[in-house]
Structure 1
Amino acid sequence: MNMKTSNRFMPLIMAMCVVIGILIGTFYANHFSGNRLNIINSGSNRLTNLLHLIEDQYVDKVNIDSLVDQAIPQILSDLDPHSVYISAKDAQAVADDLKGSFSGVGIEFTIRKDTIHVQNVVQNGPAKKAGILAGDKIVSVDGKTFVGKIVTQEEAMRRLKGPKDTKVKIGVVRYGQKGVKYFTVTRGDIPQKSISATYMIDENTGYIKVKSFGETTYPEMLISLAQLSQEGFSNLIIDLRDNTGGYMNSAVQMANEFLPKNKLIVYMQGRKSPRQDFRSDGHGSYQKIPLIVLINEGSASASEIFAGAMQDNDRATIIGRRSFGKGLVQQQLGFPDGSMIRLTIARYYTPSGRCIQKPFRAGDNKDYEEDILARYQHGEFFSQDSIKHHGPAYHTSIGRTVYGGG
C-alpha cells in the first residue's frame, strides 16, 4: 500500500477505533455498574463507603454526623453491655466525674416543680463567696428565665458549668424575701469528693463511705484513716453500697493498704490482652485491722475488685447483697471531634479465679438490664436463701467456698 492509499483509509481506521472503544467502554460500564456496591461491600471500609454513598446520592439531605452518632452505639451494643459511645458534648462531663474536680459554681441542687432548688453550697466555693444560700431557687441564668419544661439536669449543668474564671449571672428567689436577687458568680475549680462520710460509729469502730473510685479516692482514704486514727479506731467498716466503680487503679491502691506483701489483688485477661496481675507491695499501714466491707446490688466494677480481693484473701468479712457483676475492662479511645468509645478489651478476675462479670447475651441486653428487677422479684433482697448460685464454686486462700459467674 503506497502512502497515498494509506492516507485515504486513515480517517476510516480512526473512526473504527473510536467505535470499538465506545463499545468496549459501554460493555465494561454495564457489566460492572450493577456490581459497584458488591465491590464496596467486600472491602474493609464498607461503613465509610456507605456513608459517602448516602451523602452523595440519597434522595434527601442527611446529617451524616447525626447518623454516625446513632449508628456507633448500635454497633457497640451488639458486642456487650459496657462497650459504649460517648458523644463530644458528653465527654467532658464523663471525664469530670472521675478526675475529682470540674469548673463550675459549686452548688448541689434538685429540680422540683420545674425549678432548681439549691440543696447545698460548697464551702468556700464560688457560689458561697457570691452570696448564694442553700434553699435559694434559681429562676434565671445570664439574664434568661430558667424555669419550666426547659429545666433538666443536663441543661442546668450545661448553663452553670463552664471554663474557670468565666462569669455567670444567677437570679434567685429567696424564702421570705420579695423579688429576684441577682448574683454574679466567677466559676472556679470544684472538688468532687469520692469519700462522702468518715466518722466513728462507736468507741472502737470507724466508718468510711466511698461513693466512687476516682483519681483522688486513695489520698482521700488516707486522710480518712488518719482522722479515724486520731479518734482511736481499732475496727473499720468500708461502705461500698451503690458505688458503681471508676478507676481500677484506685481500687488496687486501696486494697494494697490492707493486704500483706505479694497478695494477688486482681488480674485481667483478654483475647488481645495477656494476663496482667496486680499484687500488694506490703507497704500498707492497715494490714491487720479487723475489716468489714458493705456491698449491695449497686456495687460494681472497682467496688467488686476491692471486695473480691478482701474476700478471696480472707482479709475482710463481706456483708450485704450480691454485687452487680460488672467485670469487663474498657479502654477509652478518642476521636478527633472529641467523642470517644469505651471498648471492652479484657475481663477482671478475683484472686481465686472468679470472673466478676455476670452472664450476658451479645446483642440482647434486655435480661441484663432487668437483672436487678429479677433479683427483687424472686426475693433475693430479703432472704439470703433466695440467692441463686449460677456459677461454679471457687475457694479463698484458706479454703472457704465462694461463687462466681453470676
Structure 2
Amino acid sequence: MKTWKKIVFPFALALTMAVGIIIGNFFAMRSNIGATLGLFRSLGLDKNKVSQAINLIATRYVDSVDVNTLTDNAMSDLLATLDPHSVYIPAKDLQSTNEQLEGSFSGVGIEFNIQRDTILVVSVISGGPAEKAGVLAGDRIVNVNDSAFVGKSINNDRVMHKLRGARGTVVKLGIKRARRRKILDYAITRGDVPVTSVEASYIIAPKTGYIKVSKFGDTTYSEFLTALAKIRNQGANRLIIDLRGNTGGFMEAAVKMVNEFLPKDQLIVYAAGRAYPRTDFYSDGRGSFPNMKIAVLMDEWSASASEIFAGAIQDNDRGLIIGLRSFGKGLVQQPFEFSDHSAVRLTIARYYSPSGRCIQKPYQRGKDQNYERDFVNRYLHGEFFSKDSIKIQSKEKFKTRGGRIVYGGGGIVPDIFVPLDTIGVTPYYRRLFDSGALFQFAVHYSDQHREKLKTFNNWKAMDEYLSRQPLANMLAAYAEGKDVPKHYYYFMISHQLISQQVKAYIIRNMFGDEGFYSSLNQNDVTVKRAIQALQR
C-alpha cells in the first residue's frame, strides 16, 4: 500500500494550491466559466485569494520553487485528509498506473532484468513486436537508438521510458547474443503489448482446474472465460480460483465473473454513496458454469474487486472461501482526469455484499499510518496462525442465503482457515528474498544454462531435472557475492524452501507464469487444502 507523503505545508495552503489548480483545469477544459465560478462560490472559496496565493508563491517566495511539484504535493495532501483510497496521480504516473488495468500498452514486448548493469531479456512476449523482429530470451540490450545504454545509471524506469512509446514509432536496439561476436541491430516498430491478468490455468488434480487471477482489468473477464473453457475441455468439474495477492481493479469485471457461476436473479453486489444512488447488480442466468464446484483462495492482500467476487460466492453459498482473512476494502473509486493529464481517484460509494455487509475495515480520515499498521497488528495478534485470533471490530451479524452467520467491517473471513506457512522461513531466507539475490540467481542460472534448459518440452520435465541440481548451494555461493553471507544453521532449515523457490523462478524464465505456478503449487498448503475440500 502506498505511504502518504508527509504534509510539508499547512493544510490551508494545501487546500489553496489544490483548488487553484482545479480552477485552472476547469478554465482550460470548460467554456462555461460562470458555472465553474459558481461551483467554487458555493463552496465558499474566493477565486481571487486562490490566484493571489499561487502568484505570491511563484513570484515572492524567498527561494525559487517548482510550482508544479508544489501543486502535486498539495493535491496529495488534500486527498490524504479523506479516506485511505482516494488518491492523486501526477501526470507523469497516470499512464503507467492505467496500464496496469488496461488490456495493452504500446512498446516492444519483452520482460527484462537488469543484470551486471546490462538489460537482460528474460522472456519475449508472444505475439509482440520484439518476437516478430527476432529478439530472443537471453539477449542483452547494449544500445538504444544508436547510443550505448549500459552502466550503473540504468534502472527500470529509464528502460521502460526508452522502450515504450506511441504505437507505430520505431526504436533501434543493439543486441549482444551469446556465441555471436558482432552486435545485432534491430529496428522494432512499437505496437500493442497485451497485459494479462489471468496468469495461469491448468488441471492441478483429477477433474480439478486451477486459475490464477492477478487483477481485475479490462480484459480479465474474457481471459477468465477462455481459461474456464480450457479446463472444462480438459475434464474439470471442480475449480480453484486463486485471488491471493489480487488487490482488485474494476468492479464490472468481478461482477461478470461471478455471473458465470450463479443462477438467475441472485444479488451479486450493490453500491451506494451520498451522491451515488444505490445500484444493484444481479445475475442474469446466462452463466455457463452454474454447477461447477468452486473454491476461492484469499489472503491478507486480496482486496476490492477480489472481495466483491469472494463475498458474492460466500453470501450466495455458492462455494468455499479458503485461506486468510482478506484486506477489507469496501470503497468504490472513480477516476477524474484533469487537463494536464493528472487525475484523482475519488471514493464515491461503498459496496455491499449480497447479505448487506460492507467489508471495509475501520479507518480514521487522514490517519493512514494506523490503517497501514493493520497487517502488523494482525500478525502480532496471531491472526495469521489461528482462526480464533481473528478480531473484527464490527459485531453486526449478517446471514448468507443458506442462513450462515457472516460479519462485515473487516474483510472476508474464510470458510476454511489455512494458517500462514512459515516452514523454512528464517532470517537468512528473508535476506535472500529481500535483497533480490534469489530472483537474480534464477535469471543468472537460466542465462548460463539456457541451451540445456531449452531441451525440455514442458515444465514438469524441467522440474524433475532441476530437483536433482544443488540449486540451494549454488544460490548461497552466488548470494555471498551480493553481500548476503551464508548462515549455515539457517541455511539447513531453509534448504528445501530455497530449492523450491529457485526452481520455480527458473521454470518461470523458461515456461512463463503457468510453469511457475504449476511448480510452486506442488508444495502450497492452501492449494492442497482446497483440492482436499473440493474432492470431498
> So what's the TM-score if we normalise by structure 2?
0.65
Secondary structure in 2 aligned to 1:119? strand
> Shift of the alpha carbon at 1:366?
0.9
**Alignment-derived partner of residue 5 in structure 1:** none
Query: 2 CA distance for matches of 1:382 and 1:140?
Result: 50
Question: Superposed, which structure 2 residues align to 1:82-161 within 5 Å?
Answer: 82-161=85-164
Question: Superposed, which structure 2 residues align to 1:253-332 within 5 Å?
Answer: 253-332=256-335
Secondary structure in 2 aligned to 1:325? coil
**Alignment-derived partner of residue 190 in structure 2:** 187
**Alignment-derived partner of residue 214 in structure 1:** 217
> Shift of the alpha carbon at 1:179?
5.5
Query: 2 CA distance for matches of 1:63 and 1:350?
Result: 45
**Alignment-derived partner of residue 405 in structure 1:** 409
Give the residue type in structure 2 aligned to 1:394: F
Query: 2 CA distance for matches of 1:110 and 1:335?
Result: 34
**Alignment-derived partner of residue 203 in structure 2:** 200
Secondary structure in 1 aligned to 2:172? strand
Name which of structure 1's ranges 180-189 and 225-234 shifts more when overlaid on structure 2: 180-189
* 1:57 correspondence with 2:60: yes
Q: Deviations over 1:50-101 (max 9, x none)?
A: 2133234334443222211111001101111111111112211122221211
Query: 1 CA distance for matches of 2:372 and 2:147?
Result: 39
Secondary structure in 2 aligned to 1:99? coil
* 1:367 correspondence with 2:366: no
Secondary structure in 2 aligned to 1:255? helix
Mark the CA change 1:47 to 1:154 in structure 2 (over 3 Å): closer, same or farther. farther
Query: 1 CA distance for matches of 2:107 and 2:346?
Result: 30
Segments of 5+ residues of structure 2 without an aligned counterpart are 1-42, 411-536
> Shift of the alpha carbon at 1:372?
2.1
**Alignment-derived partner of residue 395 in structure 1:** 399
Secondary structure in 1 aligned to 2:143? strand
Mark the CA change 1:54 to 1:265 in structure 2 (over 3 Å): closer, same or farther. same
Secondary structure in 1 aligned to 2:307? helix
Runs of 4+ with >6 A deviation: none
> Shift of the alpha carbon at 1:110?
2.4
Name which of structure 1's ranges 353-362 and 300-309 shifts more when overlaid on structure 2: 353-362
Query: 2 CA distance for matches of 1:209 and 1:168?
Result: 34
Mark the CA change 1:197 to 1:165 in structure 2 (over 3 Å): closer, same or farther. same
Whichever structure has more helix as a proportion of its residues is 2
Query: 2 CA distance for matches of 1:108 and 1:48?
Result: 46
Query: 1 CA distance for matches of 2:212 and 2:111?
Result: 19
Give the residue type in structure 1 aligned to 2:402: I
Query: 2 CA distance for matches of 1:217 and 1:119?
Result: 24
Mark the CA change 1:325 to 1:176 in structure 2 (over 3 Å): closer, same or farther. farther
Give the residue type in structure 2 aligned to 1:258: F
Query: 1 CA distance for matches of 2:141 and 2:375?
Result: 36
**Alignment-derived partner of residue 333 in structure 1:** 336
Give the residue type in structure 2 aligned to 1:97: Q
Segments of 5+ residues of structure 1 without an aligned counterpart are 1-40
Secondary structure in 2 aligned to 1:333? strand
> Shift of the alpha carbon at 1:117?
2.3
**Alignment-derived partner of residue 225 in structure 1:** 228
Mark the CA change 1:399 to 1:369 in structure 2 (over 3 Å): closer, same or farther. same
> Shift of the alpha carbon at 1:324?
1.2
Mark the CA change 1:119 to 1:377 in structure 2 (over 3 Å): closer, same or farther. farther
After superposition, the CA RMSD in angstroms is 1.9
Query: 1 CA distance for matches of 2:89 and 2:325?
Result: 29
Query: 2 CA distance for matches of 1:390 and 1:350?
Result: 18
Query: 1 CA distance for matches of 2:258 and 2:333?
Result: 21
Give the count of matched residue pairs.
Answer: 366
> Shift of the alpha carbon at 1:42?
7.0
**Alignment-derived partner of residue 524 in structure 2:** none
**Alignment-derived partner of residue 34 in structure 1:** none
Give the residue type in structure 2 aligned to 1:299: S
Identity, % of aligned pairs? 55
Query: 1 CA distance for matches of 2:405 and 2:115?
Result: 48
Query: 2 CA distance for matches of 1:338 and 1:304?
Result: 30
Give the residue type in structure 1 aligned to 2:301: G
Secondary structure in 2 aligned to 1:53? helix
**Alignment-derived partner of residue 386 in structure 2:** 383
Question: Superposed, which structure 2 residues align to 1:32-47 within 5 Å?
Answer: 43-45=45-47, 46-47=49-50
**Alignment-derived partner of residue 352 in structure 2:** 349
> Shift of the alpha carbon at 1:258?
0.7
Name which of structure 1's ranges 87-96 and 298-307 shifts more when overlaid on structure 2: 87-96
Query: 2 CA distance for matches of 1:368 and 1:147?
Result: 41
**Alignment-derived partner of residue 36 in structure 1:** none
Whichever structure has more strand as a proportion of its residues is 1
Query: 2 CA distance for matches of 1:389 and 1:42?
Result: 40
Give the residue type in structure 1 aligned to 2:163: L
Mark the CA change 1:51 to 1:240 in structure 2 (over 3 Å): closer, same or farther. same
Give the residue type in structure 2 aligned to 1:405: G
Give the one of 221, 232, 239 matched to 2:242. 239
Q: Deviations over 1:136-182 (max 9, x none)?
A: 23233223333334322222211111111211122333334445433
Give the residue type in structure 2 aligned to 1:397: R
Mark the CA change 1:49 to 1:258 in structure 2 (over 3 Å): closer, same or farther. farther
Query: 1 CA distance for matches of 2:191 and 2:139?
Result: 20
Name which of structure 1's ranges 53-62 and 396-405 shifts more when overlaid on structure 2: 53-62
